[in-house]
Amino acid sequence: MSENPTPEIIEPNVPAPRIRSGKVSSRHIEHYVAPLAETPLQSVDKVDETAVPLSMWAQAWRSLRVQPLFIISALLIVLVVVVAAFPGLFTQTDPQACSLQFARQGPSEGHPLGFTFQGCDIYARVVYGAQASVLVGLFTTIAVVIIGGTFGALAGYYGGWLDAVLARITDIFFALPLILGAIIIMQLPAFRDSKSIWTVIITLAIFGWPQMARITRGAVIEAKNSDYVMASRSLGLSKFKTLVKHVVPNSVAPVIVIATISLGIYIVAEATLSFLGLGLPQGVMSWGNDISDAQISLRNDPQILMWPGLALSITVLSFIMLGDAVRDALDPKSRKG
């Protein structure tokens, strides 16, 4: 009986030679192993099991509240909304009290921005003009979300002929740009003879809902194949209840982002239509009407046009920045850390 071979003893800090194809590799690689006492694995791997898991909205809010872009845009939007809701808190001057003796005069006490060529206080008109512009943007966005969101959710969840019909209808509306389509609609006798805030809202909503419907449809199609939807259906919940209780709440993130950005776009659309004389009537104060009236004095007194244009630009930029910040917070792929 042969004797057992003596086992080879390998030092702890010296790696064993690697054998490749029956040959011992002569390459020597030194490895540094930290002492166990200096490696607090228990502290590194410890998980706080008592912490409450955050929802998507809680994580988004935690990300938003530290973003300068969101803070600045939110403060500007709050200021614009307060000015539109309570213009009397910011000026005591009647914006319709115009006198030709003050025409084109510069800033003075109580009138920090001067007067228009008709003798109207520019600051008062900018303050009161925010109301119509914000109302058009807000109510148009609400109408677009309700109409487009409903059609898009139904088409995306049920599919079939409903989805096909919606796709063809949206293709027809996408063939006309928003402003061009609104110009055509506003030229119809029913709209031309009864200009008001509501006619502008209806016109913009007609051409704004297809985009919202397509965004909602895509989000619903992505959400309806999730495990929680299958579990809901397995528990006996109807398709419609599953859509309302589970699919729609998990599909609203892109809708909120698009709605926030679209609100600023609709404010610009209203100003464009009013500038062309097709939007709000002249009796309604808005930034678009003031810009339209001030274009004749652009060379001699550009400040008459500059102030309502600046207010419009800041408002629209605030909503666009807010939409970008919300999109980054709600998109898991863009989150850092």
- pLDDT over 50 at 9, yes or no: no
Give the chain's mean pLDDT.
82
User: Domains of the chain: which residue ranges?
Assistant: 126-332
Could you report the per-residue pLDDT of 228-237, keeping only the tens digit for each? 888 888 888 8
The reported pLDDT for the residue numbered 299 is 80
**CATH homologous superfamily for the domain 126-332:** MetI-like (1.10.3720.10)
Integer Cα distance of 3 and 22 in angstroms: 24
Q: What tokens were used for 100? A: 């030709």
Taking residues 124-142, report their average pLDDT. 92
The reported pLDDT for the residue numbered 36 is 59
Of the pLDDT bands very low, low, confident and very high (cuts 50, 70, 90), residue 10 is very low
Among candidate residues 97, 124, 280, the one with its CA nearest the CA of residue 197: 280
Could you report the per-residue pLDDT of 11-21, keeping only the tens digit for each? 455 455 554 55
Could you report the per-residue pLDDT of 25-82, keeping only the tens digit for each? 556 666 666 665 665 555 555 555 666 666 777 787 888 888 888 999 999 999 999 9
In one-letter notation, the amino acid at residue 38 is E
- pLDDT over 90 at 202, yes or no: yes
The reported pLDDT for the residue numbered 175 is 84
- The C-alpha torsion from 274 through 278 and 281 to 284, rounded to 10°, is -20
CB 84 within 8 A of CB 130: yes
Could you report the per-residue pLDDT of 235-291, keeping only the tens digit for each? 888 888 888 888 888 888 889 989 998 999 999 999 999 888 888 888 888 898 888
What is this structure's pTM? 0.78
* Residues in Cβ contact with 107 at an 8 Å cutoff, skipping those fewer than 6 apart: 113, 114
Integer Cα distance of 123 and 149 in angstroms: 38
Per cent of the chain over pLDDT 70 is 81
The reported pLDDT for the residue numbered 337 is 45
Burial class (CB in 10 A: 0-12, 13-18, 19+), 233: middle
